[in-house]
Amino acid sequence: MNKNSVSTPSRGSVPEEIRVFRKSGSTRERKLSIVIPTYNEVGNIGALIQCVLEVFQRGGVDGELIVVDDSSPDGTGEIVKDYAQKFENVTLVSRREKNGYGNACKDGIRFTSGRFIMGMDADFSHDPEIILSMY
């Protein structure tokens, strides 16, 4: 059985150069979607994902992470893909080339299922603890 799948967006169409990886069966709707654009964040992304997932669990947050990676040469996307294979609420949106922060946010939103959507930077400039006060 394939542990991850390429899926279709929930909001709009997506160009061919985008691939999406998420654990099979992880298409249920969530209350909160967090979009995290990345490029060369190998030193931060694993810790950030773990931290956000802990905040979700501790606060009873019905949330998901949509990480949009622009084919980072440092392996950021591979780290996120590993998380996406293990956790139903982590999705990797992989783009072929660096196409800008705003476009990454827009492309990530296409794959959200949450009623509410927020953005977060991968470098911890946004403290994940703020999720609890916004939820």
Give the CATH number for residue 58: 3.90.550.10
Taking 70 as the pLDDT cut, the residues of the chain under it are 1-16, 25-27
State the pLDDT at residue 61.
96
What does 40-94 look like in DSSP terms, one character per residue?
A: S-TTTHHHHHHHHHHHHHHHT--EEEEEEE---TTSHHHHHHHHHHH-TTEEEEE
In a domain, residue 8? The reply is no
State the pLDDT at residue 6.
43
Instruction: Give yes or no for a contact between 89 and 65, defined as CB atoms under 8 angstroms apart.
Output: yes
List the beta bridge partners of residue 5. Answer: 22
In a domain, residue 4? The reply is no
State the pLDDT at residue 14.
57
State the pLDDT at residue 38.
97
In a domain, residue 68? The reply is yes
Number of domain units in the chain: 1
In a domain, residue 10? The reply is no
In a domain, residue 12? The reply is no
State the pLDDT at residue 27.
66
Dump pLDDT digits (tens) for 38-61. 999 999 999 999 999 999 999 999
In a domain, residue 14? The reply is no
Q: Identify the domain containing residue 127 by its residue range.
A: 20-134
Lay out the sheet containing 4-5: strands in order across. 4-5, 18-23, 90-95, 63-69, 32-38, 116-119
State the pLDDT at residue 77.
97
In a domain, residue 2? The reply is no
